[in-house]
Amino acid sequence: MMWADVQRNYFTVPWAVVAEVVAFVTFISTILQTYGSFKQK
C-alpha cells in the first residue's frame, strides 16, 4: 500500500466517522434531556 493512499484514507475517513459520532451524540443528549425534563414533572 502506498503512503499517499494511507494518508488520504486517514484524513478522509475519520471526518465522516466524526460527523456520524457528533450527530449520534447530539441525538442521544437530546433524548436524555427530554427524558430528564419529562421525569422531573
The per-residue pLDDT for range 9-38, each reduced to its tens digit, is: 666 667 778 889 999 999 999 999 999 999
Is 7 a residue whose pLDDT tops 80? no
**Residue length of the chain:** 41
Q: Identify the residue with better confidence: 41 or 24.
A: 24
CA distance 40 to 12: 43
**What letter would DSSP give residue 41?**
-
Give the predicted TM-score (pTM) of the model: 0.53
DSSP 10-34: HHHHHHHHHHHHHHHHHHHHHHHHH
Alpha-carbon span 39 to 33, nearest angstrom: 10
Q: Which sign does the torsion angle of CA 13, 16, 19, 25 carry?
A: negative
- pLDDT confidence of residue 41: 74
User: How much is the pLDDT for 9?
Assistant: 66
